[in-house]
Amino acid sequence: MTNHSALARSWRPLILKDVIGQELTVKALTNALDHQILHHAYLFTGTRGVGKTSLARILAKSMNCQAGTSANACLNCDSCLSIASGYCMDVIEIDAASRTKVEDTRELLEQTQFHPIKGKYKIFIIDEVHMLSGHSFNALLKTLEEPPAYVKFLLATTELDKVPATIRSRCIHFPLQNISNDILIDYLGKKLKTMNIEFEQPSLNMIAQQAAGSVRDALTLLEKLLLLHPKELKSEAVAKTLGLTGQKNIHDLIFNAMTGRLDALKMIFTELKLNQTNYLALIEQALYFVHQEALKPLSKQQSQFDESFLQLAYDIFIKALENAKFTPNQAINFEMTFLRLTRFTPTVNEQPATAQSNVSNELTHSTWTKLLPNLKLNGMSLALAKALTVISHQAHQLNIQLPPNLKSLANDNTQSNLIKCIQDHGFLVQNLNIQWNEAKHENSQDSDKQNAEALCEQLKNHLKKHPQTSALLQTLQADIDALNLS
């Protein structure tokens, strides 16, 4: 098994071009290093784990590489190696959170009078610089204004607004971006491949969502997951470990809310309670799910979910994330959110939630056969419509039976055409459940008969209207309605 220990450390980018998700910063620093246009102070800001200190260390290596200052540090010289190991006399790294006092800062600044030993520059990396006291900032300011030519300051902070404007204005400021999910997913996928670890794509999506833009968080989560699942990351297992529910459960939760299936929701609530669920993360997942479903029409895909419902669900989930700060228990917030969904969806309001109350809008096979001649369908969808037998219609699901030889016709497209068409006739059907079975519903033969009769009627009307036929019929004194055309 590969050694997964401290992935965040071992996968840390070594040179600028390895840094992910910070194109602008990397480009600016590459140009500065390659053209030797170096400022004496840089300030890196951004949320936790986006790579502030990693960038500062890379910059220190690039500045002090004995092979020459460039964006591509050699990584092999004494200077590069000692910076990488954290024991470099020329690079002094401090965490301002533990050195807030002015005495600490003065002590640090005293070292600026000594020239670097191995590299070109004496580099001071001050992490969480916003933690310095007012006096410390004042002490720093003087040196920051006019440092010796061999001194460079690399400051990093998560809280830019706590850094005095006087300090900020003396630094070149690089605001680092949160890493997008797509970039994180791509990055994790590539890393896992190099380690020959199998994975299911949704598992990476879950890690990226949980990491919320932080590479470090993503890697820490991955490390934890690999300890439990060293050979393969399966979506269900990952969901369980992260206290999330799988994509299928998210679908079911939202679908059950939309269709007002309270019993089904109750069962899922119970299951989630037993599984130490991370409710907040689950609401976030639901938010992503709703977004993905809402995007489907843009790529000509049919969503199973009502468009207005998706918009409403989005608002309700956003509100739930806000409410999470005030709730005494995250499970309460979660359950209330999904119950609220069942109350406010347009579909549910029009058609009350229980199956019994949908009876008036239940699609039976005999209703179906009456609808058939009026369906605006053609081609394969029409062929399916004609061949299907309605078995039952419960809470937005239409259970139908089709002969197995039509399997090739029942693709996503034809099924969504059918659903759309059924909905156009006022029936609340969100999905089809197909049983492939040769046996035909007895009503279906009636339907064939009805179809044949309708066709005869059409033909007779056509003949009556046709001038030549009607003249012929008059000559023959024949009554067309008496003809048996079937």
Single-letter residue type at 444: S
The pair of three-digit structure tokens given for residue 371, joined into one six-digit string: 């609808």
**118 vs 168, which CB is nearer to Zn ion?**
118
**65 vs 432, which CB is nearer to Zn ion?**
65
**80 vs 208, which CB is nearer to Zn ion?**
80
Single out the residue of 15, 59, 63, 80 in contact with Zn ion (rule: CB under 5 A). 80
Q: How many residues does the chain have?
A: 486
Beta carbons of 123 and 154 less than 8 angstroms apart: yes
Beta carbons of 204 and 169 less than 8 angstroms apart: no
The yes or no reply on residue 84 touching Zn ion (CB under 5 A) is no
Give the chain's largest Cα–Cα span.
Answer: 124
Helix, coil or strand: residue 260: coil
**Count of residues interacting with Zn ion (CB under 5 A):** 6
- Residue spans of alpha helices (H) in 128-245: 134-145, 165-168, 181-194, 201-211, 215-228, 235-241
Secondary structure letter of residue 408 according to DSSP: G
Distance CA 27, CA 60 (A): 16
The yes or no reply on residue 74 touching Zn ion (CB under 5 A) is yes
Single out the residue of 77, 226, 341, 348 in contact with Zn ion (rule: CB under 5 A). 77
The least CB distance from residue 97 to Zn ion, in Å, is 30
The least CB distance from residue 34 to Zn ion, in Å, is 15
The least CB distance from residue 66 to Zn ion, in Å, is 5
The least CB distance from residue 119 to Zn ion, in Å, is 9
The yes or no reply on residue 155 touching Zn ion (CB under 5 A) is no
The least CB distance from residue 14 to Zn ion, in Å, is 11
The stretch near Zn ion (CB under 5 A) out of 57-65, 125-133, 238-246, 374-382 is: 57-65
Label residue 481 exposed, middle or buried (CB < 10 Å: 0-12, 13-18, 19+). Answer: exposed
**DSSP readout, 107-123?**
HHHHGGGSPPSSSS-EE
The least CB distance from residue 67 to Zn ion, in Å, is 5
Single out the residue of 29, 41, 65, 385 in contact with Zn ion (rule: CB under 5 A). 65
**77 vs 184, which CB is nearer to Zn ion?**
77
Q: How many CB atoms lie within 10 A of CB 361?
A: 14
The stretch near Zn ion (CB under 5 A) out of 15-23, 63-71, 164-172, 332-340 is: 63-71
Distance CA 191, CA 250 (A): 28
Residue ranges that bind Zn ion, judged by CB under 5 A: 65, 67, 73-74, 77, 80
